Amino acid sequence: MWHHLSVNPLATVSAIGFYAILLALAFPEIRERAMPLPKRTGGAQHLHLEGLDAYRGFASLLVALGHMWWFASPLFQASQGAFPPMARGAAAVPVFCVLSGFLISRSALAIRTAEDLRAYAIRRVFRIWPVYAVGVLLCAAMGIYGATALPMRSFFADLFMFRVLWWPGYANPVAWSLYHELLFYALMPLIAVVAGRRHLALFALLAIVAFVLADHPERNFGIWRFFMIGVLASELTSRLPVRWATATFVSGLIVGIFYMLMPQRMADVTSLVGLTVPRDDDAGLLLGLGCFLVLVATPHLPAVGRFLEAYPLRLFGMVSYSLYVTHLFFLQANYPDWRVLTQNLEFFGQFEPMPFWYLPVVFLPGMLFWAIVCYVAVERPGIALGKRLARREPVWPRGLGGNRQPGDNPA
């Protein structure tokens, strides 16, 4: 056991730091002073809803675990064998997109004036860009751009998110979904204007049908149906009879669990209508249906919301975006000779595979420690700065620190 702990001292020390933070924040007095949880509201009629952060946290953990099994294979192969359902990391990004569609459509519908639009744009940019920029700087610090044909151009293209304008390539593999997130932020106010509140659900439904009919395994195209599924869920949650909420929620859980446990051999078959079913590189309609049912029902189930708001589930949700952006850098920091993310995948074959407990007990908590550091040092101040700029308040007011905007949901 101790041999494995001595292999990566950074992972061990980081894991100890995570457990120390978790223990300290278990005391409400310390939590409210050092890392206060944002206030939330419940009920289908409210803009910000209880429990959604926990869904986001679960999805981010799924991404981190999936990438550890995929990029570092066979280093954590024993963990994958012990927790096979968690190997479907490809399911996580669609979950992020559904959550974004659910929440951002509500923010877009609240826009009434040019000033509202300005505030919306500022808040969205400061929600994504500061942590994203940390990822770009980490790429530079770890020499990743040095392996590209145009190092300086690639660095600035990443820094200014020119992938949105079809710049060919990007360094941090997880950033691919963030460019689509930014595009969705930009398009959602226009969709709200074109469709209007009365017809937004119909617009979302027609868009989902269009994306399904044009089904393609390319992930950059496939995730857009999930934004629309989230928009549709947001519009229909207030119309769901409360008496149906529990059955709807349970049905969504069953569909999601079936997707996670679905044998791999089912990944090559087609659905009754001839469309692709979920597979590891393209989560399909089954996953979208599960997310839709769960999100439609959650606002009507206060007990579920209270459970999902409980510490530490809420904490994992708060730091999920920072974990999403930084987790591969933690892997490289522990194995610095792995120079180019996602390439040279045979590199980890030279190391002795870790026991099944090492990833969930040591390595993943180590990643979470640095996600918490990134949230406290970068993400939370960035969101607070965006809020002040949106309100035309002084940039550096007394008592800088701020809280995260309730309901914010990056992918």
Structure tokens at 303: 């007990």
- Give the gyration radius of the chain's Cα atoms: 21
Which of the four pLDDT bands, split at 50, 70 and 90, describes residue 271?
A: very low
Decide: 230 and 101 in contact? Cβ < 8 Å: yes
Range from 28-42, 220-234, 327-341 carrying the lowest mean pLDDT:
28-42
Residues 6+ apart with CB under 8 A from 11: 330, 334, 362, 363, 366
Check residue 45 and give its pLDDT.
46
Residue 222 CA to residue 217 CA, distance in Å, equals: 7
Decide: 207 and 223 in contact? Cβ < 8 Å: no
pLDDT tens-digit series, residues 127-174: 999 999 999 999 999 888 877 778 899 999 999 999 999 999 899 989
Check residue 11 and give its pLDDT.
94
Beta-bridge partner residues of 279:
282
Eight-state DSSP code of residue 111: -
Residues 6+ apart with CB under 8 A from 62: 86, 88, 89, 91, 92, 95
What would the DSSP string read from start to end of 170-221? Answer: -SSGGGHHHHHHHHHHHHHHHHHHHHHHHHHHHHHHHHHHHHHHT--S-HHH
Give the type of residue at 169. G
Q: How far is CA 34 from the centre of its chain?
A: 24
Residue 244 CA to residue 317 CA, distance in Å, equals: 27
Q: Compute the average pLDDT of residues 98-102.
A: 95
Can you give the residue ranges of every domain in the chain?
Answer: 2-30+46-390
Residue closest to 225 by CA, chosen among 281, 283, 310: 283
Query: Average model confidence (pLDDT) for the chain?
Result: 84
Which of the four pLDDT bands, split at 50, 70 and 90, describes residue 368?
A: very high
272 burial level (CB within 10 Å; 0-12, 13-18, 19+): exposed
Residue 37 CA to residue 31 CA, distance in Å, equals: 8
Residue 62 has pLDDT above 70, yes or no: yes
Q: For residue 233, how many C-alpha atoms fall within 13 Å in the half-sphere facing its CB?
A: 32
Eight-state DSSP code of residue 359: I
Structure tokens at 171: 């360094």
Decide: 291 and 91 in contact? Cβ < 8 Å: no
What would the DSSP string read from start to end of 293-326? Answer: HHHHHGGG-HHHHHHHTSTTHHHHHHTHHHHHHH
The reply to whether omega before 312 is within 30° of 0 (cis) is: yes
Check residue 284 and give its pLDDT.
67
